[in-house]
Amino acid sequence: MKKLTLMLLILIGTGHPLSAATRTDVNILEATESIRFLSQEITKNYLYLFANPGKDVIKKQIHAGLNELVQSIRTISISTDDEDTQAILEFLIYSKDQIEELIQGKPDKEKAALMLDYSETLLEGANSIAKTYSYNFSESEKMLMIGKRIEYLLERSSKYYMALGIGLGTEINRKQMNNALGKLEKNLQTIEHYNYPSRMQKDRILLRKSWEVTKSFFDRRKEMFVSNLEVLSSREMESITRKFILYHRKAQ
């Protein structure tokens, strides 16, 4: 794993000038955002399966996430001939293949720890690709990305919640969870201060209430680990967030 991380760091460190803003750049940026989200969701689901081995539906969700990951990687691959980007994509495919091997058989703590490593590798790769491309977002497009970021941060927070709950309670994992929660709160405040039409006010109130419920599970993590409730609450919050994403997508 250390060799793989070193390879990725070398690729990320190659540097690349910002390209001109085009529709292709937008497609790539949207695909990298999808990879960021899926990198967290797939691992969160694996850790959730570890905590709830009888839930076969989670296995289907993991495989569905991997299929979406492949589609996002393919979108980037056909959108650019950039050698650095293609090299990182090959690394992401390799990481995806390793994840597919890990999810075979019964989940265990060692595999769970490796899943955490690969989720960060996928995330680093997506972040590196995103830095290579530029696009001058409109205000509404920026808010759309805020919504996508909230989804990503929810999955990231949940991933570390699950990790801590199943016994992978390292100081780094705790810091990563708290960092994601802090960023999530800031993004929610951005939505709350945006000038939405009156018809969106109810959803904005629901989003804040849903966040307060979700956050309470993180706050009480030391007293109780409630994986099912946390997942249900996060899904409800993501469902409300998608209403804002849809609003801004229609505004394009």
Q: Is the pLDDT of residue 137 over 90?
A: no
Burial 104-142, CB ≥16 within 10 A → b, else e? eeebeeebbbbbbbbbbbbbbbbebbbebbebeeeeebe
Among 105-109, 146-150, 158-162, the least confident range? 105-109
Whole-angstrom distance, CA of residue 37 vs CA of residue 69: 9
* Topology alike, domains 1-136 and 137-252: no
Looking at residue 8, its pLDDT comes to 46
CATH (residue range 137-252)? 1.20.120.1730
Whole-angstrom distance, CA of residue 102 vs CA of residue 112: 9
Choose among 1, 16, 251: nearest CA to 138: 251
Q: How far apart are the first and last CA of the chain?
A: 42
Give the count of beta carbons closer than 10 Å to the beta carbon of residue 8.
22
Whole-angstrom distance, CA of residue 156 vs CA of residue 179: 10
Looking at residue 1, its pLDDT comes to 52
Two tokens, residue 218: 């993180």
For the chain, domain boundaries: 1-136, 137-252
Q: Is the pLDDT of residue 93 over 60?
A: yes
pLDDT in tens, 201-244: 999 999 999 999 999 999 999 899 999 999 999 999 999 999 99
Q: Is the pLDDT of residue 3 over 60?
A: no
Q: For residue 105, what pLDDT band results from cuts at 50, 70 and 90?
A: confident
How much is the average pLDDT of 5-18?
45
pLDDT in tens, 22-40: 778 888 998 999 999 999 9
136 phi and psi angles, rounded to 5 deg: -85, 90
CATH architecture classification, 1-136:
Up-down Bundle (1.20)
Whole-angstrom distance, CA of residue 146 vs CA of residue 134: 17
Whole-angstrom distance, CA of residue 12 vs CA of residue 8: 6
Whole-angstrom distance, CA of residue 57 vs CA of residue 61: 6
Q: Is the pLDDT of residue 20 over 70?
A: no
Q: Is the pLDDT of residue 172 over 60?
A: yes
How much is the average pLDDT of 135-154?
92
Q: Is the pLDDT of residue 2 over 50?
A: no
Whole-angstrom distance, CA of residue 153 vs CA of residue 157: 6
Mean of the per-residue pLDDT values for the chain?
Answer: 90
Looking at residue 6, its pLDDT comes to 44
Instruction: Collect all residues with Cβ–Cβ distance below 8 Å to 157 and sequence separation of at least 6.
Output: 177, 180, 181, 184, 218, 234
Q: Is the pLDDT of residue 83 over 70?
A: yes
Q: What percentage of the chain reaches a pLDDT higher than 70?
A: 91
- The residue with greater pLDDT, 10 or 142, is 142
pLDDT in tens, 175-188: 999 999 999 999 99
Choose among 132, 142, 97: nearest CA to 14: 132
Looking at residue 17, its pLDDT comes to 43
Looking at residue 243, its pLDDT comes to 96
